[in-house]
Structure 1
Amino acid sequence: MNSNTRQALLRADPHLSRFDPLSRIIVYDDFDHGLQGWTGLIGNYEESLDAMLPPYRELRDPMLSNLTVWDSGTDGSFNGTYALKLATLPRPGALAVAIKRLTFRQLGPIRLETYFTFKPEASELRLSETDVRSFGVLFDLQHGDRHPAPRERVMPHLRYLNALDGQAVARWQFKRRREPMADIGGSGKTRSHFHLAPEGWEDIPDGEQLLCYNEIATKHNWHYLRVDFDLTSMSFQGIRCNDRTFDVSPLEPMRLPAMANLWCMLNLVFWVETDRAKRAFLYLDSVLLSGEWD
């Protein structure tokens, strides 16, 4: 199929025409059709759940939502009825995380695209624009077992820091700092680290961006996000949110030695974090992962 024919087919599909995928669509998750393989992030454990690192114990799992609000009824998603919803506990710094666990079949460029919106729980009659601390996305990757040494686990992290301690920030950040690794159990097969710890985030150069946050706490406006990454070089290739693209040349992913049972891993992760004793919500209308190979 030539490129013009492919482009015409994509543009004729109302679900896909709002995306800009690479040549192979790996994942297209429209949450009108259910959870589509997205689940909660569970900390590693052996023999007992008590072996799990403490920060993992309070992570909330994803759910489906039709974005019903108390004052105007049901919004629905960007293009349909249901969105994937992440909702934190009502405690400052609490996180909710969604993960999709995949493996890759070939090294090369990948592109993750989504339409998202975020809000705090509308439990007060005020705008509450600084009640969400952050939301973010990451890949959790590992080389294949035949990859030349050194084989690595690579974790590109990206977040939008909306506010901190009640003060607006509105800046994109990345994280390359590696958190301490802990052995879990006594088998030697399981290790864990809390890579979403609040420490170690760095500002993306010229990464300030004001996002649309409508006039009351129950109004939702959808945003476009795209992250490009190359599995061959294990490096960022591009970041776009709405009309802005960002310089990724200074960005580095988190890197650590390959782990015993994670070969060819390609996990996708989204999360949201609250800044107040109030739940924070992140909604994903749909998610598209594409790649480039023969």
Structure 2
Amino acid sequence: MNRHAIDAGPREMDLSRFDPLPRVMFYDDFNQGMSGWTVLTGNYTGSLRNMHPGYRQFTPPMLSNLTQWDGGTHGGLSGSYALKLATRPDVGAQTVSLKRLTFPRACTMQVEAYLTFKPEATELELSDRDVRSFGFVLDIQTKQHRVLPQIRYLNAIDGALANKWQYKPRTTVFNDVGDRTVTLYHYGEENWVDIPGGYQTLCYNEIPTKINWHYFRLGFDIRTLRYTELQCNDLVLDLSGLEMLKFDAMPNLNNLFNVIPFVETDSRKRAFLYFDSILLSGDW
């Protein structure tokens, strides 16, 4: 789909709030259903007990109409439903979702979304320090390399506000879980680095049942294995000089391209990450 050839129907009007590259890979409006988003199950061989404990905590995504105890049903940015990621209620608990793809051509890919984040509203308090972070991972493999570009918005840590964007440039250790299977838990707290110019205070309304939607955009060039840009609302950051997790190519993963959002809690409340819609586009 070309951005200059959009008709004026309702679905195309929704697309006009994005800024896609010339080829739209997918556009998921969660009023239409789950659209292939699923839980990330960690690698294992023979038994689920062999799974890395980090992956065991992950919960499946769900469709939500954002019902609040004080105000009733909120709904999405446009329509009744959003995709919801919810952590477990433990300090540092994380969850992710993903959509499993392959890329048809090495090019610049760009993911855009309208999202919001909140802790579970279990107290009559602001609770703006209860969500630790949210972010995105792109899991990509070319003929030579597998790369994991990974960024997050660190909202708060250990009860203190941080309000900054970070990236993860260094590798972590692979663990064997069978004769031919390895696992890598790269979502932990280690090795995060601040993105230059990445301080940003996001809108967080006065009570924990109020939400405001945010625009998000992240680009990556598969040809050069470099980030392009990160945008959240009116903040635009050039990421082209940043490093990322990078390994030799693995068997059976040719042209891998997975899109993986995640969220983490900093308190004993569940952290929620909602998506009204997500769009992936490319430039070939």
- Pairwise TM-score range, normalised by the shorter structure: over 0.9
- Name the structure 2 match of 1:194: 185
1:257-272 counterparts in 2 under 5 A? 257-272=248-263
Aligned in 2, Cα 1:9/1:48: closer, same or farther, shift over 3 Å?
same
Letter of the 1:221 partner, please give it.
N
Match for 1:170: what amino acid?
Answer: N
Matched, 1:178 2:179: no
1:122 aligns with 2:121: yes
Alignment partner for residue 278 of structure 2, among 283, 287, 293?
287
Does the 8 A contact of 2:86 with 2:95 survive in 1?
yes
Find the residue that maps to 2:31 and give its secondary structure. Answer: helix
C-alpha deviation, 1:257, in angstroms:
1.2
Could you tell me whether the CA contact under 8 Å between 2:2 and 2:23 is conserved in 1? Answer: no
Number of the residue aligned with 2:23: 24
Letter in 2 for 1:62: P
State how far apart, in whole Å, the 1-side matches of 2:275 and 2:243 are: 26
SS state at 2:239 partner? coil
Counterpart in the other structure of 2:139: 140
Deviations 1:161-184 (A, max 9, x none): 000000000000000111101111
Whether the 8 Å CA contact 1:11–1:17 is kept in 2: the answer is no
Give the whole-Å Cα distance in 2 for the aligned partners of 1:285 and 1:269. 16
Distance 1:91 1:167 in 2: 17
Q: Does residue 1:246 correspond to 2:237, yes or no?
A: yes
Q: List per-residue Cα deviations over 1:36-87 (Å, max 9, x = no partner).
A: 0000011001111111111111111211100000000000001111100011
- Specify the SS of the correspondent of 1:239: strand
SS in 1 for 2:190: coil
Q: CA deviation at 1:7?
A: 5.7
Which stretches in structure 2 are left out of the alignment for 5+ residues?
Answer: none
Deviation at 1:258, TM superposition (A): 1.0
2:112 match: secondary structure: strand
Structure 1 distance, partners of 2:2, 2:262, is: 38
Instruction: State the partner residue of 1:208.
Output: 199
Q: Which moved more, 1:226-235 or 1:251-260?
A: 251-260
Q: Which amino acid aligns with 1:171?
A: K
Give 1:132-171 correspondences, 5 Å limit.
132-143=131-142, 147=143, 151-171=144-164
Aligned to 1:221: 212
* TM-score, length basis structure 2: 0.97
Query: Aligned residues: percent identity?
Result: 51
8 Å contact from structure 2 (residues 6, 12) kept in 1: no
CA distance in 2, matches of 1:10, 1:176: 42
Unaligned runs of 5+ in 1: none
Structure 1 stretch displaced more, 95-104 or 9-18: 9-18
**Quick check: 2:216–2:232 contact (8 Å CA) kept in 1?**
yes
Of stretches 124-133 and 11-20 in structure 1, the one that deviates more from structure 2 is 11-20
Please provide the CA RMSD for this pair. Answer: 1.6
Shift of 1:252: 1.4
Q: Do the aligned partners of residues 139 and 130 (structure 1) sit closer, same or farther apart at CA in structure 2, a change above 3 Å counting?
A: same
Moved over 3 A (4+): 7-12
